[in-house]
Structure 1
Amino acid sequence: MITRDVGTFVGFAKNCAPDFGPSCAKAVFLIAPEGFALAEQSASDNRYMDMGLTTDAAKALAEHRGLQSALSAIVPTICFSGRADTPDAQFPNNVFATAPGRLLLGHMRHAVRQREAERPDIRGFFAQALGYREIDLRDQPGLCELTGALVIDRARGLGFCGLSERCDEAGAKAMHAAFGLRATLMFDLAPGEYHTNVVLSVLAGRAVVIAPDGFADPAVVEGIAECYAPQVVRLGRDEKLGFAGNCIAVAEKAVFMSEAAACALRAENRRTLQDAGFALHAVPLAEIEKAGGSLRCCVAEIY
């Protein structure tokens, strides 16, 4: 089922058992920010970027190494080298995603990001080392920036797809089919929001982090919250702008977000995460965040 009807989706979702698959990835991969710089094309529809900022490639690389080290203490973590001609490649989860036995290639809006999917080493790793089948979504007409646009509850096989300049209905339908989901809810993001995973995260299938002002329709916010109540973290504007919504559970009891996001998180929201059984891991990413994404965007999951 793929629908825009919140009531229909919630009625179905609340009866889905957490038996679709593992709630967290078995491993993750990163791409190093070689030649780190701000991509002008990406800034055209990313309100979280400021092209007037100066960047420090060495600092970005150091932050990224710190992220790799922190993740590797919890989950197997691979890092591929970056390339100077792909300045946004440190955010691989928009271009690459997996389901059991499958590697998906996303249909990116901007040309500067489209070339990332050509990497023969990354595609070869999945095809040759892991034996994954490749599903290339670039030839279908819809834009679909994978787990940037589509937040997935892997335990129950549910998708939450925010439509924007980076993902349209055709793309949402293509992703729903490629991931083989039970149900996907499509909805409009608020004007100016570019990716769902900045305003929404489902944590290990049992809790949700949501920024209400990132959604065009408040009914969508309430419907999603109903699916995970009472373990709902509602973000205020400052928390959202600090990238607290761009978080990820890499294990059943481990949630990762950037240091800035953790600092922005209100005490009541920290308690909600603790009550849901999560330990919060914060990683400094101030330089990388100048590129308009944060920790979740840096992490591509391997299922």
Structure 2
Amino acid sequence: MTISPDVAAESTRTPRTQRLRHYAMTPPTYFTVEYAINPWMDTSTPVDARLALAQWENLRDTYVRLGHTVDLVAPVAGLPDMVYAANAGLIINGTAVVAQFKHAERYGESVAYAAWMAERGHDPVATRHVNEGQGDLLVVGSMILAGTGFRTHPHAHAEIADLTGMPVISLELVDPRFYHLDTALSVLDDSTIAYYPPAFTDHARAQLRRLFPDAIEVASTDAYVLGLNAVSDGKHVVHPAQATGFAEQLYHAGFHPIGVDLSELLKGGGSVKCCTLEVFS
């Protein structure tokens, strides 16, 4: 990547600070595409299980090299999407909210992740309405951005606000390719986001521009490879390797982009963030 001296100097004037994180991940031991519940899934496309595991292990090892804590959740046979740990729920402010999935194929994941939460000493609670965890519930500083339109029910947003004691900002998605908020928006630090405007309603875009006037707006080329399904520690941003334009935008903004290949797991409609549940202290 070629960066002009002026841009590089500008980046150094806005240094980013790493904060060590705590993640939970589930190995793709049973990952396959045996049903289709989002536009990315095609049951006629074979999955290379060995490659999927190797790519996932590289993602886990990347977090460890950066100094982060990674807990492993045991996979369960018959739950091929359990690798997408971000959907498991939301753990913050002493509250562990377990996911309530929309599709029956994923119901068993709620049971498995609730058991894991309980083993860690949490008292998992469920919402009455559909919520798909950090797929649609993204913490930005002292607020939660909450997606709706395809998976999480808007009524669950008020439940999440009551359970966590945090303000929740509802954002409606309109493009089925971006069925979860974490496919169209990435949290970079406590005050910075990146997002793909066409994935949202006019109202949602207006809210985002009001709350984050300096947000990074990505192009379709990067959004269509789920480039925004990324994980940031405030300085390093681990993102799908194919999102090269987004990587350059991150560099210009003072972040350190780290591309990883999760092409096999993309066959199920998920990438870096989908595989990563952040545990907030």
TM-score band w.r.t. shorter chain: 0.7 to 0.9
**3-state SS of paired residue (2:179):** coil
1:47 Cα offset (Å):
1.6
* 1:210–1:221 Cα contact (<8 Å) kept: no
1:282 paired with 2:259, answer yes
Task: Give me the TM-score of the superposition, normalised by structure 1.
Answer: 0.79
- Taking the aligned partners of 1:121 and 1:113, their CA distance within structure 2 comes to 15
- Taking the aligned partners of 1:245 and 1:64, their CA distance within structure 2 comes to 17
- Taking the aligned partners of 2:241 and 2:77, their CA distance within structure 1 comes to 26
- Taking the aligned partners of 1:72 and 1:98, their CA distance within structure 2 comes to 21
Residues 133 and 84 of structure 1: is their aligned pair in 2 closer, same or farther, counting only changes over 3 Å? closer
1:85 paired with 2:78, answer yes
**3-state SS of paired residue (1:133):** coil
Identity %: 21
1:135 paired with 2:125, answer yes
1:148 alignment counterpart: 135
Among 222, 231, 241, the residue aligned to 2:224: 241
Among 120, 124, 141, the residue aligned to 1:126: 120
* 1:259–1:283 Cα contact (<8 Å) kept: yes
2:39 alignment counterpart: 47
Aligned length: 260
Residues 105 and 24 of structure 1: is their aligned pair in 2 closer, same or farther, counting only changes over 3 Å? farther
Deviations 1:91-148 (A, max 9, x none): 1111232103222201111122111122275133321xxxx332222xx1x1111211
Deviations 1:205-250 (A, max 9, x none): 1321111111122x422431332232x221222211111111121x
What RMSD in Å do the two structures reach over aligned CA positions?
2.0
Among 149, 160, 172, the residue aligned to 2:145: 160
* 1:209–1:235 Cα contact (<8 Å) kept: yes
Q: Which runs of 4+ in 1 moved over 6 A?
A: none
- Taking the aligned partners of 2:20 and 2:261, their CA distance within structure 1 comes to 22
* 1:25–1:301 Cα contact (<8 Å) kept: no
Deviations 1:63-118 (A, max 9, x none): 11111111111211122232221000001111232103222201111122111122
1:32 alignment counterpart: 27
